[in-house]
Chains A and B, each alone.
Chain A
Amino acid sequence: MQKILIIGATSAIAEATARRYASRGARLYLVARNAQRLQDMQADLLVRGAKSVQTSILDVNDIASHEGMLQNAWALFGNIDVALIAHGTLPDQEACTQSVTTAGHEFSTNAGSTIALLIPIANRMQAARRGTIAVISSVAGDRGRASNYLYGASKAAVSTFLSGLRQSLFKDGVGVLTIKPGFVDTPMTQGFKKGALWATPNAVAKGIVRAIDRNKSVVYLPWFWQGIMLVIRTIPEFLFRRIRL
């Protein structure tokens, strides 16, 4: 029976992923800010077949409280098979350009807090010589674009950190998965007009679980984003700077 830790558990993609693990009879440890939503999710996942569901209230930007939460999770489960880090915000690029404070805060939420969580989780898994760390990064981290480069930069930091972590943990048998979703129809993207490129949280969750099961390193979800991002990455800078994306 798998033991799963999910940070940012009430995000739409994380919830859909949690349901897939619940239907396998997994044990889940859910971490998020909102107590009521955690409670609702707990009840739901138990009905959907989870063996047990524990919850923990945490603001990821409160880095001092990370260690207590992790100690609790490992004490309860003994070890963790999958740690999924799914929290994040989609900052308003304009607001980040106006205020250094906002930019810094958003960068810590999306990159700083994630890296702060990754270090102690990686150390525990390394000591146990087992487990998979999966982190929701973004296609936005593949290249900075005018519309959201603060978000892109924070996701790039996460992706690059994960790439190094993967190399470093390989010999210990710990898997590190970088998840790069494209456009996903979630509350985070409520204000956007949806088109053919948009995916559901459920479809992305399916891809996440499959990538974890197959011990993948990097996964674009849905798959076609790998091609799109390949094109975007190869556009030479003298051209790229002239286009709006």
Chain B
Amino acid sequence: MSKAGQSWGRYPHTTQQILAVADRHRSLQTNNAPCLPYGNGRSYGDSCLNDGGVLLHTRTLDRFIAFDPATGIVRCEAGVLFAEILDISVPQGWFLPVTPGTRYVTVGGAIANDVHGKNHHRAGTIGHYVEELELLRTDGQRLRCSDKQNADWFAATVGGLGLTGLITWATLQLRRIKGPWLIVENHRLHNLADFFSLSAESDRDYEYTVAWVDCAAKGTKLGRGLLSRANHAPACPDKQPHKPSRRLRVPIAPPMSLVNPLSLRVFNSFYYHRQRKNIVHTVSHYEPFFYPLDAIGDWNRLYGPRGFLQYQCVVPLDTANETILELLRIISCHGEGSFLAVLKQFGARPSIGLLSFARPGVTLALDFPHRGKSTFNLLDQLDRVVTAAQGAVYPAKDAHMSGQSFRQYFPRWDVFRTFIDPGFSSSFWRRVME
């Protein structure tokens, strides 16, 4: 997967010592340098990096501990991938209760970022499905945490960016399914107003909703895109078994980013016009529906050696229309727009973690090729809009927000700080605490 000690955005560049954690029963060896757990490196920015310190690689903690097919409760070590859970659970009628857009995240990483998915409006975040976890601290202490036991530690560790200690194992409650298929409807959105009306309506009847927006479009076309909504299908015995398409891979990073204003315009336009009808109904296997980008290995290399910056924000619902419009306008004017901008309305269920990102409102996610100063200027401009709207930016995807913004977005940072393991730190944390 990703290179040791690199984040998915391939920016910033850091150096750190790598220590593999292979035995969950042993205490941590820290070499007296600040440590940070590192799962599968799918965080985009610097929240999974620790310049000058130690990264505790957890992919070697990849054993299942128990799975009960009657109740759908799975207990496993923190380095197990969501993909590995799906491999064993789907054939037995269970699915992840919440999943991000890639299945190559570790259980520990998903909890540390309190990840959300296309079902947030119904299900909340992954933290709501963590029955229990074990936290190992550098002083050798082991804390079993849940919403009943050590609940304060639980709230700090869910969404805690790996800073409260090492999650050694966790227990998750999975969701019942009848099979691997989903009934999907794709709607064309002509503009942003379409998104708001259709999204609110869809959230009532559909478990999964998400929209892709063409952020290269301008003027009246601003906000055009596709909204996809879906429910798990009842058993489809007549469907052919899903054959995973031959996995493509980007073999090397090209010397310059292949993502540029021209390719963006072409791609976004193609994506929008690919669907001619206003509504298309399909039955889709869960892999292409939830994880379209997983089909292209190392797709992050397309952005060239300088990497890219992700930006995901959430803004309050009552002013969302204007705020999102303004954000899209800034991006569109800037001309550096992103491949696909993802829009999704979050539900009302409060997240558990002190630093959880997901909160009621509308979330927008984009990525920008890293072009140095001009990219940072753009992010600053976006940050100003989000700050003014009382929104927040997602640390898992960030490599740039200021400490001041962070403290506004996450007002409970001060409480959180007391739960940090004294032997732990991260590049992200040092940056936002400056």
Question: Which residues of A are interface residues toward B (Cβ below 8 A)?
Answer: 23, 36-37, 40-41, 43-44, 47-49, 187, 190
Contacts and interface: CB of A to CB of B under 8 A. Distances in A.
A48 B88 CA distance: 6
27 contacts: A23-B87, A36-B25, A37-B23, A40-B24, A40-B63, A40-B65, A41-B63, A43-B63, A43-B64, A43-B65, A43-B66, A44-B63, A44-B64, A44-B65, A47-B64, A47-B65, A47-B66, A47-B67, A47-B74, A47-B76, A47-B88, A48-B64, A48-B88, A49-B88, A187-B20, A187-B22, A190-B20
Contacts of B87: 23
A190 B60 CA distance: 13
Contacts of A48: 64, 88
A187 B64 CA distance: 20
Interface in B12-50: 20, 22-25
Interface of B: 20, 22-25, 63-67, 74, 76, 87-88
A190 B18 CA distance: 11
Given A23-B87, A40-B24, A47-B66, 8 more contacts: A36-B25, A37-B23, A40-B65, A41-B63, A47-B74, A47-B76, A47-B88, A190-B20
Q: Which 6 A-B pairs have the closest CB atoms?
A: A47-B64, A44-B63, A47-B67, A44-B64, A40-B63, A43-B65
Contacts of B76: 47
Nearest to B23: A37
A84 B66 CA distance: 26
Nearest to B4: A194
Contacts of A40: 24, 63, 65
Contacts of B65: 40, 43-44, 47
Contacts of A41: 63
Nearest to A34: B23
A193 B145 CA distance: 38
Contacts of B20: 187, 190
Contacts of B67: 47
Could you tell me the dominant secondary structure of chain A's interface residues?
Answer: helix
Contacts of B64: 43-44, 47-48
Nearest to A49: B88
Nearest to B26: A36
Contacts of A23: 87
B237 to A, nearest CB: 22
Contacts of B88: 47-49
A45 to B, nearest CB: 9
B344 to A, nearest CB: 32
Question: Which of A36, A37, A43 is most buried by chain B, counting CB atoms within 10 A of its CB?
Answer: A43
A24 to B, nearest CB: 13
Nearest to B68: A47
Contacts of B63: 40-41, 43-44
A201 to B, nearest CB: 10
B323 to A, nearest CB: 45
A37 B26 CA distance: 12
A47 B94 CA distance: 14
A41 B62 CA distance: 10
B92 to A, nearest CB: 10
Nearest to A44: B63
A198 to B, nearest CB: 12
A47 B87 CA distance: 11
A37 B22 CA distance: 10
A23 B22 CA distance: 22
A205 to B, nearest CB: 13
Nearest to B74: A47
Contacts of A44: 63-65
B73 to A, nearest CB: 12
Contacts of A37: 23
* Residue of B64, B74, B87 with highest tally of chain A CB at under 10 A: B64
A41 B66 CA distance: 11
B1 to A, nearest CB: 11
Contacts of A47: 64-67, 74, 76, 88
A48 B64 CA distance: 8
B90 to A, nearest CB: 13
Nearest to A15: B63
A71 B16 CA distance: 50
